Amino acid sequence: MSQPSPAILFLTGASGVGKTTIVKTIQANNTNQQLAFFYSDAQGVPSIDEMLEQAGSLERYQELLIHRHVKNITDNYSEFSTVIFEGQARFNFIEDACNIYSVKQYSIVLVDCAWKDMRLRLCNERKQRELANFGMRNWARFLRKQARQRNIPIVDTSKATEFEAVEIVQSHLFRLIGAI
């Protein structure tokens, strides 16, 4: 008989919105041995050409990637009760992967911010000017619209301090853990 899947809190959003900062802050202060952290980009990010070669489209690449990540979590994180997933993904891809890999307890939170803040972070703090483009801006808009339509909580890091954003995400984490 297989181990039950850990509960997963998916923290998603466009590049530069503050996902990694929030998760690293939670991880640095974590004392819960049953909580694990999964950073989607830790495995490396292929070039756009490689993504297209592997999957035919960027959307299909993202779908395959989220499925691979959820399978990895269900296969390799069963000793943990909860995993915080940090990465970019469409909500329907997350939901489909959780259904396929029998993740019964999960929650999605969108981290978002105003374009001017995202652009400043990408260009100045991260030195990734190439990501501060209309594609990323449109991706953030798409996720924001989808979150509103699906009633997915949004943490706006333009309006919240880092401490406040961490507290908001932790409140969603505690709700998820309480539901286990």
Pick the CATH number of 7-179 from 3.40.50.80, 3.40.50.720, 3.40.50.300, 3.30.450.20: 3.40.50.300
H-type helices in 77-123, by residue range? 91-100, 115-120
Q: How much is the CA Rg of the chain, to the nearest whole Å?
A: 16
Pairwise CA distance, residues 90 & 46, whole Å: 18
According to the model, what pLDDT value does residue 1 have? 43
Per-residue tens of pLDDT for the chain, all 180 residues: 456 789 999 999 999 999 999 999 999 999 989 999 999 987 777 677 787 788 788 888 889 899 999 999 999 999 999 999 999 999 999 999 999 999 999 999 999 999 999 899 999 988 888 887 888 899 999 999 999 999 999 999 999 999 999 999 999 999 998 865
Between the CA of residue 121 and those of 59, 72, 77, 113, 114, what are the distances in Å?
25, 30, 32, 10, 11
Name the helix (H) or strand (E) containing 163: helix 162-179
Q: Where are the domains of the chain?
A: 7-179
Q: Is 8 in a helix, a strand, or coil?
A: strand
Pairwise CA distance, residues 139 & 143, whole Å: 6
> Which pair of tokens denotes residue 150?
């699906």
